[in-house]
Chain A
Amino acid sequence: MSLPLVVLLPFLGAIAAPLFAQGGRTAIAIASSVPALIALAALYPNWQVLADGGYVLFHQEWLPALGISLSFRLDGLALLFALLILVIGLLIILYARYYLKPKENIAKFYALLLCFKGSMLGIVMSSNLLLMLIFWEITSLVSFLLISYWTHKQDARRGARMALAVTGGGGLALLAGILIIGNIVGSFELDDVLAAGDQIKAHAMYPVALTLVLLGAFTKSAQFPFHFWLPHAMQAPTPVSAYLHSATMVKAGVFLLARLYPALAGTEQWFYMVSFTGMATLLIGAYIAMFKHDLKGLLAYSTVSHLGLITLLFGMGTQLAAVAAVFHVINHATFKASLFMAAGIIDHETGTRDMRRINGLWRYMPHTATLAMVAASSMAGVPLLNGFLSKEMFFAESLELNLPGLWAWLPPIVATLAGIFAVAYSARFIHDVFFNGKPVDLPVYPPHEPPRYMKIPVEILVFACVMVGMFPAISVGPLLYSAASATLGGEVPDYKLAVIHGLNLPLLMSFVAFFGGLLMYTQRQRFFDFHARFKEIDEKAVFEAVVSRLATFSHELTARIENGSLQRYALLLVLSVIAVAAAPLMNVGIFVGELGLSPVDPPTAIAAGVLIVCALLTAFLHRERFYALVLLSVVGLIVALAFARFSAPDLAMTQLSVEVVTIVLLMLALFYMPSWTPLESTRGQRTRDAFIALIAGIGMTLVTLAMLTQPFTSISDFFLENSKTGGGGTNVVNVILVDFRGFDTLGEITVLAIAALGIYAMLKNTALTPPPGDGMGHPWTRDAHPMMLKQIARPMLPLALMISAFIFLRGHNLPGGGFIAGLITSVALILQYIASGMVWTQERIGIKYHNVIGLGLLFAIIAGAGSLAFGYPFLTSTFGYITWPVVGKFEVASALVFDLGVYLTVIGATLLALVSIGRLSPHSAIKPKKEGV
């Protein structure tokens, strides 16, 4: 249980720590240290298992169907990284306490730092590849926030964006790679993946998977050609650079190489891709580092170079090289973190990081200078310091590579050359900063030693450098052995940790590098002049240019496709539907299926003929909008007849009443709109549209014909069988609506309600003046509410309401129900509005339709939730019979309450929509004269 706790603790700390921000920097720093201290204590009891070569596993299912589980694994490799993350994290917390200014947002800083720590621990301890990827992405996101911590700096924001784009893109590649690996192995669990190394390497997809995984690792670890983001990420506060960009996050990439080493390494592809990338990065980073005038820039490129070294070691593919790689991870983290902290102190105390201005600081801060010089010597690979040991191992391994012919010389030469550069830039870091004359024009003068406690983290790390360098076997031996064993899958080669292995070729290479580097530093002006001849590429400018070009391109593309014309969208939509449907239709061949055609009776044929003629006429005469509307209503009525003809009485009734409401709605709209459509399209456009419409119509005809003549089996037998026994009603359609598929209906009336409220909101406070006449020279009638209509409409209301009540109540057993009854009531009320006017009717109804909608939905939900109280699922209905006097035996189903909700919602929505439109006209607001009861 302790493993997930270790990962979770920092996240909890990230929530808790900001609460201490009120107490000042010391309080929040102490609070932020607690998670790491507990985590260290929780890890300690596992050490014995690991030292014996075993590992601790925690497994908890999360999404088994996707292969994602919450499984954590603590082995030597995970422990090594976890210790680096936790211990250096603690030192960073202490350091940041003095680095940050009191008025800065310390709560945000510590919370992000803790989030980062947790996600980093998640990466190294996950035993499920997908889980690891989740943490991997969190580190990318949090590092984005940390780099841009000083949000007011443009460079910081840009650097953060670049880092996110590169590492985030790599994360996507990694995801694809992991999915392929999981597909090959059949599991995302690390145990399975590591055990299936041979299977993965033999698989045809191996090169693809390898490339994708390496893309993820290389972007994260800033390998060439993705190295450019790291130097720009140096805009971050220095504690962040020290933690993320030297000790931990950039090590996630090399961690991945180590973690998947047994599964992926050992092939030619691995060797060439990894070792050559590493070699290029090693050399390029070391070379550029020499020419950086910015302290952190020098360290950043040096980090790039050292990450290349580690990558190269993993790429070599020998077991000893892997051991050296793991060893160098430890060493680099210690000396580089301390160097970053020292650089931060210098920046803090002098106000600049420009090495052309910072000189001779030895006189002002001897303590810091000593620490920085030791750490820099370790970076250069000076004996008795830890950097020397792993570099010796690296030199030795570079000689062991079996490359053909003269190529065999390449690795040792590259190694030595990089060693020379490393010595040169380390020498520059020491000499240029602490000696070399006097400081030039410092913003803060005179500089002095930082606060006592700010130096402690540096002291601890430098002490570790010296201890490992002098007594490697005692100080770091067991941990390294355990980590190497975990990396290599249990087999550890014989290696010896000693300060001096005797006089041999690697030692000679070290000497060459050391004196070559010093020579190079003394002759640095020539190299600077040489370097100045080449135009330096500003990666940030290139990156920004690429990004802005992409943005412009997509803007233009969008503008070209999306021109605001519904006409064009509709055209594209119809054409794509035709295109998509055409291919399968071609394969059908004969459209009349096995069942054949049934005979037609004359009335049906006549009705169909009228419908077809009216539909086509609607299109032909559409410019005369009123005629089009009349024709449309004929079409709608015949559709209702069609439903009645083909055994769907409920549909016929619904269609009929909806038709009335729709036509009223369109008439109302037409009142405000121009009453005809002017001819604006060309003959060519119309011909084209007619052709497309014809094809669409033919397509639908053929599809319908093919469907209708195919035999089929329906799932409706279930509903027919259970309607009476289970739902208590004989009208199967209604029982389906309110009972079997009640949840769908609830969704549908909600949509209805939202549409009506949307209409209300859209038209609220909108005024539309209708044109003075119908546009054909006729003025509107002066008698807005004709006497005859009024006199007939008023007595209709109670009759209509009674019918709708009847239809509603019988709905469960005979055609009818909430939808139809609601529409009938709506029609009856709308008739009153038409006959007597808005004001007169509204005064007498006096109900707000919003409330009716709300009440309706409430009823429906209560009916559904009622069953929960009896322990049944939502919307389970029940029914019983009661005997009423006069009426007799009457069935009461709980679904009736639900149907009542439907009824009310339909009324509310329909009337709210129509009344909103009716109210648009300024006339309706004026109370008509002589309008009596």
Chain B
Amino acid sequence: MELVFALVIGALTSSGVYLLLRARTFPVVVGLTLISYGVNLFLFSSGRLTTGGQPILGSTESYSDPLPQALVLTAIVIGFAMTAFVVVLSLRNLADNEDDHVDGRQGERPEKPEQKSEEERSQ
């Protein structure tokens, strides 16, 4: 079980990091979301993996660790707020600069990237 769980976190991290290193806003946001899934699962698992031990008093014999759960719960909500903030930041950038690159080469591209990509795509 532990190995499977670890592999899941590894896969989330790998995909997330790869997307984080892309040059456009959207993949970066998706990558961040994947990484935050991985991080949340990791933090959650610091209370170890328990089956059938929900921390509701009286419902079971032994309980899983409630503390990481409480921490992760707020982390999920704040993670959403941050994702929303980053998305809006990239939208604003799109509105102001008509560009969604994050590779610091804004202004070096003479034409609008969309047009160029459409040509590329049709090839």
Contacts and interface: CB of A to CB of B under 8 A. Distances in A.
A724 B57 contact: yes
A611 B57 contact: no
A23 to B, nearest CB: 55
Given A615-B11, A702-B6, A758 B85 contact: yes
A176 interface: no
B98 to A, nearest CB: 10
Contacts, number: 336
A751 B55 contact: no
B21 A619 contact: no
Contacts of A68: none
Contacts of A636: 33, 37
A592 B5 CA distance: 13
B103 interface: yes
Contacts of B53: 647
Contacts of B83: 662, 665
Interface string A823-846: 100000000000000000000000
Contacts of A571: 21
Interface residues of A, number: 120
A574 B32 CA distance: 13
A647 B4 CA distance: 17
A642 B21 contact: no
Nearest to A712: B48
A694 B80 CA distance: 26
Nearest to A568: B104
Interface string B1-36: 111111111111111111111111111111101100
A693 B18 contact: yes
Contacts of A700: 6, 9-10, 13, 38, 42
Interface string A683-719: 0000001101110111111111101110010111001
A732 B85 CA distance: 31
A183 B27 CA distance: 53
A587 interface: no
B85 A736 contact: no
B103 A677 contact: no
A741 B70 contact: yes
Interface string A160-174: 000000000000000
A598 B1 contact: yes
Nearest to B81: A755
A119 B100 CA distance: 55
Main secondary structure of the interface of B (DSSP, over half): helix
A748 B76 CA distance: 11
Interface string A556-590: 00000001111110110010000000000000000
A502 interface: no
Interface residues of B, number: 96
Interface in A610-657: 611-612, 615-616, 618-619, 622, 625, 628-629, 632, 635-636, 639, 642-643, 645-651, 654-655
A284 interface: no
Nearest to A822: B77
Contacts of A185: none
Contact of A714 (B42, B65, B95): B65
B6 to A, nearest CB: 4
A697 B17 contact: yes
Given A677-B27, A712-B48, A732 B76 contact: no
B5 A906 contact: no
A670 interface: yes
Contacts of A658: 76-77, 79-80
Contact of A732 (B17, B20, B57, B95): B57
Interface string B64-94: 1111011011101111111111011111101
A26 B42 CA distance: 73
B83 to A, nearest CB: 6
A813 interface: yes
A678 B120 contact: yes
7 contacts: A648-B44, A673-B26, A736-B70, A755-B82, A823-B77, A906-B77, A909-B81
Interface of B: 1-31, 33-34, 37-38, 40-42, 44-59, 63-67, 69-70, 72-74, 76-85, 87-92, 94-96, 100, 102-106, 113-114, 116-118, 120-121
**Would you list the 8 A-B pairs with minimal beta carbon distance, nearest first?**
A697-B14, A565-B104, A678-B117, A701-B10, A564-B104, A566-B102, A693-B18, A730-B57
